[in-house]
Structure 1
Amino acid sequence: MRTGINWLLRIIFLFVFLAACGTFIPRPLIAPVKASSAAASHRILLLSGPIHTDIAIQLGEETRAAFSFLDNPDFPLGHPNAEWLIIGWGGRAFYLETPTWTELKPLPVLRALTIDRSVLHVDLAGHISEPQPAVAAFDIGDDQLARLRNFISDSFVRGAGTVKPIPDAGYGEIDRFFEAKGYFNALFGCNTWTAAALRSAGLRTGLWNPLPQSLRLSLGVYN
C-alpha cells in the first residue's frame, strides 16, 4: 500500500515538474524580432474554460474572405451582427458528446485520456466584453493574422478541396463541427493546439501548455 502511494506521489510530482517547465520555458526560446513598422491593428482573443481554450478572431473583410468556405445559410459568416469567429480544436468523442459537464460519460473521457481523432468547432459571436477573467486579448499585425488564419485553415481535413462537416453535430443553432487533422490525447490536446496556433501568429507560449491556466500564464509572461 505504501509503495503504491509513493509511486503515485512520484507521478504527481513529475507531472507538476514537467508542467512547470512547460509553462516557464518559452517557445520559441528566443523572442522573434518584430518589424518596427508592423502595426498591431488586429485583435484576437483567447477564450478560456476550466479545461479548454478557443481562439476568437475579429470578423473583418479579409477574415470573412479567408474562411468563406465555412459560409452557408446554417453558418452565416457574413451576418452583420457577427463580430467574432471562434475556433477550437479537440478530441472527437469528448468534444461531440460533452456539451455540458452534466453530460459527461466514461467512454469519451477514456478516449481523451488515450488517443482519439480530432475535430474543429466553429462558432460566431457578437460583442465580447473585455476585460473579463476568461478572456485574454492580444493585438497582432497583418502578417501575423494571415499566418494565424492559414494555420487554422490548414487544420481542416479536406476532401476534393472542400472541408468535411460532421452532420447534425453542434451545441446550438449556429455552431458547427468539422473533421480536423491530427490526433488528440490529454497531454497534447486542445490547449497545445491553441498554443501552436498562437505561435503561428508570432506570440510566445510555454514549451508545453496542456492546461488553460498554464497557457494563460505563459502568454502573460512572454507577451
Structure 2
Amino acid sequence: MKRSLKWAFFGLLAAVLAVVLGTLLPRPLLPASAAAMGAGGTRILVLSGPIHTDIAVPLTKETRVRFGFIEPAGVPIAHPQAQWLIFGWGGRSFYLETPTWSELKAMPVFKALTLDRSVMHVDVAGRIAEPQASVAGFELDAAGYERLLAFIADGFTRDGGAVVPIDGYSYNGNDRFFEAEGSFNALFGCNTWTARALREAGLRTGLWNPVPPSLGLSLRIHN
C-alpha cells in the first residue's frame, strides 16, 4: 500500500510539473513580430469552459462566404443577430454524447483518455460581453487572421470536396457537428488544438496546454 501511494504521489507530482512547465515555457520560443498583434487588426475571442476552449471569429461578409459550406447543415450564419462564428474541435464520443455533465457516461470518458476520432463543433453567437473571466480577446494582423481561418477550414474532413455533417446531434438547435481531421486524446485534445490554431495566427502559447486554465495563463504571460 505504501509503495502504491508513493508511486501515485510521484505520478501526480510529475503531472503537475508537466502542466506548470507546459504553461511557463513558450511556444514558439521567440515572439512573433509586433505587427502580429496590434491596433487595427481583426479581433478574435478564446472562449473557455471548465475543460474545453473554443475560438470565435467575427461573422462578416468574408467569413460568411468562406464558411458558407456549414450553412446547408443548419448553422444560421446569415441570421442578422449573429455576430460571432464559434469553432471547437474535440473527441467524437465525448463531444457528441455528453451535452451536459449529468449525461456523462463511462465509454466516452474511456475513449477520451485513450484514442478517439475527432469532430468539429460549429455554433453562432450574438454579442459576447467583454471583459469576463471566460473570454479573452486578441487582435490579429491580416496575415495571422488568414492563417487562422485556413487552419480552421482545413480541420474539416471532406468527402469529394464537401464537408461531412453529423446528423442528429446539436446542443442548442443552432449548432452542428462535422467530421474532423485528426485523432483525439485527452493529453493532446481540444485545448492543444486551440493552442495550435492560435500559434498559426501568430500568438504564443505554452509548450503544452491540455486544460483551459493552462492555456489562458500562457496566453496572458507570453502575449
Shift in Å at residue 37 of structure 1?
Answer: 11
Equivalent residue number for residue 149 of structure 2: 149
Q: Structure 1 CA distance, aligned partners of 2:48 and 2:27?
A: 20
How far the C-alpha of 1:65 sits from its partner, in A, is 1.5
Distance 1:20 1:36, change over 3 A: closer
Q: How many residues align?
A: 223
**Distance in 2 separating the partners of 1:71 and 1:36:** 30
Q: Could you tell me which amino acid in structure 2 is paired with residue 32 of structure 1?
A: A
SS at match of 2:32: coil
Q: Give a deviation string over 1:145-168, Cα, whole Å, max 9, x none.
A: 111000000000000000000011
CA distance in 1, matches of 2:175, 2:217: 29
Kindly report structure 1 stretches of 4+ aligned residues shifted beyond 3 Å.
34-40
Say whether residues 1:111 and 2:88 are aligned partners: no
Helix, strand or coil: the match of 2:179?
Answer: strand
Identify the range of structure 1 (69-78 vs 125-134) with the bigger mean alpha-carbon deviation.
Answer: 69-78
Match of 1:194 in 2: 194
2:86–2:124 CA contact under 8 A, matched in 1: yes
Displacement after TM superposition at 1:20 (Å): 0.9
Task: Rate the CA distance shift 1:157–1:105 in 2: closer, same or farther, 3 A.
Answer: same
**SS of 1:20's equivalent?**
helix
SS at match of 1:153: helix
Instruction: Quote the Cα distance in structure 2 between the aligned partners of 1:74 and 1:113.
Output: 31
SS at match of 2:166: coil
Which runs of 5 or more residues in structure 1 are unaligned? Answer: none
1:177-188 alignment runs, 5 A limit: 177-188=177-188
Deviation at 1:83, TM superposition (A): 0.2
Residue equivalent to 2:6: 6
Corresponding position: 1:24 with 2:34? no
Amino acid in the other structure paired with 1:126: G
Name the TM-score, length of structure 2 as normaliser.
0.97
Cα separation, 2, equivalents of 1:38 and 1:129: 21
Mapped partners of 1:13, 1:39: distance in 2: 42
Q: 1:11 to 1:38 in 2, by over 3 A?
A: closer
Structure 2: give runs of 5+ residues left out of the alignment.
Answer: none
C-alpha deviation, 1:70, in angstroms: 1.1
CA deviations 1:89-117 (Å, max 9, x no partner) are: 00000000000001101110011010100
1:211 alignment partner in structure 2 = 211
Structure 2 residue 50 is the aligned partner of structure 1 residue 50: yes
Residue 67 of structure 1 corresponds to which residue in structure 2?
67
Change beyond 3 A, Cα 1:85–1:37? closer
What is the RMSD of the two structures over their aligned residues, measured on CA atoms? Answer: 1.5
Q: Distance in 2 between matches of 1:149 and 1:85?
A: 11
